[in-house]
């Protein structure tokens, strides 16, 4: 695939107006890349916003129609699931903060436009985990992880309960008590995140993170997570949040300071850097200067640029080239290195390798 074709999705994300100028061959490339990166519904909604339907050929228009319907169905399902979660936890009297996609959707943010969802994530106080889990299990959720090692992995080392699935709806719920594992090098204070969270208009109990914290969580999820399959989609989230909150009073003035307070200056630096490089996200010069406090050493930054920019480039995710595989592997190891101390990391990776070998033998 040529460099020009690889850049087509990025061009469409930066300037959706070009969607009305593409020929069928370009649409074939764009649809393939957008679908691979879970961004085809986003393009469909962008085209709608610009009233481009009459300028798009029939064949790609049908693909956009299907993608739009898929995203709408996801949004309806997530809203319904949030209602069930809220009802199950309504008597506990603990704060329940929606995270990531569910937060964007229930908060009516632009980041939810055309977004696809795989699960719902919530944040609750760690002291309330036991009663939250009990209430959910009484209402039909069960743990997806049943082995003793998996249970220990989540309950002792991670920032969440083992994933829960509802036994009839088959929906997945992740219950977090923090945004990074307890064993991670970065340990933002969950109490501060909960204290600054905001109520959702029209909701009696549900909350979302404050705007600056939502951006920081988005950056932390993208740059401290070993799952790079949705890296470009997650960067689009970051771009949408930054653009959407730009007009809110005090947002830019407090963003870098809040990142320092929570120990997340490095993820913020990366989030602003790659949003600007890849998606041309507008960020005030004063904010970029303030975010420099999270800048890594020169060699580390060059290595990160080489890995992340390759992974964020359409046409690379899921591809089998040696360079892409090296970038994926490097980011996977880096994320684990950030999430666990060396001895625990070695133990975990060896355990995973042995389990995979045993599964292959079976």
Tens-digit pLDDT profile for the chain (362 aa)?
344 445 899 999 999 999 999 999 999 999 999 999 999 999 999 999 999 999 999 999 999 999 999 999 999 999 999 999 999 999 999 999 999 999 999 999 999 999 999 999 999 999 999 999 999 999 999 999 888 998 998 999 999 999 999 999 999 999 999 999 999 999 999 999 999 999 999 998 999 999 999 999 999 999 988 777 788 999 999 999 999 999 999 999 999 999 999 999 999 999 999 999 999 999 999 999 999 999 999 999 999 999 888 877 655 444 445 676 777 778 877 887 888 888 888 888 788 778 776 766 66
Within-domain flag for 203: no
Token pair 């229930």: residue: 106
Q: Domain for residue 232, yes or no?
A: yes
Specify the pLDDT at position 313.
Answer: 65
Give the per-residue pLDDT at 218. Answer: 97
CA distance 94 to 102: 18
Q: Which pLDDT belongs to residue 75?
A: 97
Domain contains 298: yes
Give the pairing of strands 96-99 and 206-208: parallel
Q: Does 282 fall in a domain? A: yes
Q: What is the pLDDT, as a whole number, of residue 5?
A: 46
CB atoms within 10 A of CB 25: 9
Cα 70 from Cα 219, distance rounded (Å): 26
pLDDT of residue 13: 96
CA-CA distance, 31 to 37, in Å (whole number)? Answer: 10
Q: What is the pLDDT of residue 227?
A: 74
Is 223 domain-assigned?
yes
Residue range(s) defining the domain that contains residue 288: 210-362
Beta carbons within 10 angstroms of residue 48's beta carbon: 15
Angstrom distance (rounded) from CA 317 to CA 233: 11
Q: Is residue 152 part of a domain?
A: no
Domain count, the chain: 1
Whether 321 is covered by a domain: the verdict is: yes
Domain annotation covers residue 188: no
């Amino acid at each position: 695939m040529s460099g020009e074709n690889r850049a087509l999705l990025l061009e469409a994300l930066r300037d959706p107006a070009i969607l009305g100028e593409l020929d069928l061959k370009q649409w074939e490339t764009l649809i393939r890349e957008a679908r691979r990166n879970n961004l085809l519904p986003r393009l469909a909604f962008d085209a709608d916003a610009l009233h481009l339907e009459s300028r798009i050929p029939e064949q790609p228009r049908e693909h956009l129609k299907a993608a739009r319907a898929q995203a709408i169905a996801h949004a309806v399902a997530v809203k319904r699931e949030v209602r069930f979660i809220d009802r199950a936890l309504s008597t506990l009297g603990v704060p329940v903060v929606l995270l990531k996609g569910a937060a964007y959707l229930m908060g009516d943010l632009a980041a939810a436009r055309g977004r696809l969802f795989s699960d719902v994530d919530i944040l609750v106080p760690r002291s309330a985990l036991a009663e939250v889990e009990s209430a959910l299990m009484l209402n039909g959720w069960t743990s997806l992880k049943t082995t003793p090692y998996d249970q220990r992995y989540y309950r002792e080392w991670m920032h969440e309960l083992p994933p829960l699935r509802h036994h009839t709806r088959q929906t997945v719920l992740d219950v977090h008590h923090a945004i990074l594992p307890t064993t991670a090098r970065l340990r933002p204070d969950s109490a501060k995140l909960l204290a600054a969270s905001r109520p959702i208009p029209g909701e009696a109990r549900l909350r979302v993170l404050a705007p600056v914290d939502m951006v920081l969580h988005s950056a932390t999820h993208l740059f401290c997570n070993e799952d790079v399959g949705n890296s470009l989609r997650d960067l689009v989230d970051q771009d949408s949040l930054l653009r959407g909150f730009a007009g809110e009073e005090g947002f830019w003035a407090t963003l870098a300071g809040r990142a320092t307070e929570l120990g997340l200056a490095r993820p913020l630096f990366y989030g602003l850097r790659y949003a600007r490089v890849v998606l041309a996200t507008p960020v005030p010069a004063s904010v970029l200067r303030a975010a420099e406090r999270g800048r890594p050493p020169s060699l580390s930054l060059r290595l990160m640029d080489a890995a992340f920019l390759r992974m964020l480039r359409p046409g690379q995710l899921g591809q089998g080239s040696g360079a892409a595989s090296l970038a994926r592997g490097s980011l996977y190891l880096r994320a684990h290195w950030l999430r666990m101390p060396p001895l625990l990391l070695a133990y975990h990776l060896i355990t995973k390798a042995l389990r995979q070998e045993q599964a292959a033998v079976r």
